[in-house]
Amino acid sequence: MFCPVGFRSASELWDEFLAARFESTYADVTQGYRRVNFIASLTRGSPIDVCEHIFLKSLAAVGIHVASPEGQVMKLHVRMEDDQPNLFSSSGIYRSALYCAAVEIDSNNLESQEIIDESVFESWDGEASDNVRLAETYPLVADVDERKKKKLGWNVRHHSLLHHIRRQSFTITGSVPMWATDTAGASQVAPILAHYSGWAVCLDQDTCDNRWQDYHAGKIELYPTDVSDATVSQTGRPRLSAAFDAFAAMNFEKGELSWEQVGRKIERESGHKPSAKSLRNWRNEAKITD
């Protein structure tokens, strides 16, 4: 993918990151699928979804630029905080599967169809209540044939959909795709995306030669420090599983309570207060798998 002289494209950096980090990430994530506290409905996705999340979080940590096809460059600050929408936001695997099916039905939604790159994305058809399906689909590294292991990164598909970035090219989408239209701030994001449509994510060469190398090599620990924790929760916080269980006990319904009141009620029971966005996502995921 393009970038100005003196910069390196995220697309090129992703290929290098995948080659250097995917096998170790795959090993940790597949172990995570087998943990006793693993919850399928909270998983970030396939091993390559987790690897991508680490990559994007690393980019956000060192500071990115975006470049237009005409050579304009702008520095961009991305805050990848829990539950907060950002340039690198994504949908969970069950929500992604639902909207992928909707896009297939809506033949007029051309840009959403283009964003769902079938060469790297595969809709997940497992049930949220089935905690063993991912473990059955993705064997442990020790059980993977050596010949296949060398090509592992290209055989494993994404099961989550990014909101504002096209995979492989790492360019900004021109509009908010249908699976992100009900997310917080979508209406404010839409005109920004239209203005920066097609701009590519990149790093300046100095950052690549210095700060980026430590992230690329895994010398700097990102949260979660244990990669397998990212398989437990889309936000990377295993303690959210207790909050999820508390909401599940409420049948994912808030009744007459506001989302703020639901959050406080769950906090009293689990010790953690989930955001309204997390609660709505959990409710939506539960409806998908009913």
Mean pLDDT per 10-residue run, the chain (290 residues)? 87 91 88 84 87 90 91 83 72 84 65 69 81 87 68 73 89 79 68 85 92 81 48 46 78 86 86 78 61
- Give pLDDT, residue 191: 76
- Give pLDDT, residue 177: 75
215 vs 257: CA distance, rounded Å? 43
| Direct distance between the N- and C-terminal alpha carbons of the chain, in angstroms, rounded to an integer | 41
- Give pLDDT, residue 289: 44
Contacts of residue 129, defined as CB under 8 A and 6 or more positions apart, other chains included, come to 40, 41, 289
The H-assigned helical ranges of the chain are: 10-33, 47-62, 93-105, 110-115, 133-137, 146-149, 152-155, 186-195, 205-209, 211-216, 240-248, 259-270, 276-288
- Give pLDDT, residue 227: 47
- Give pLDDT, residue 173: 86
- Give pLDDT, residue 64: 92
- Give pLDDT, residue 233: 46
- Give pLDDT, residue 224: 43
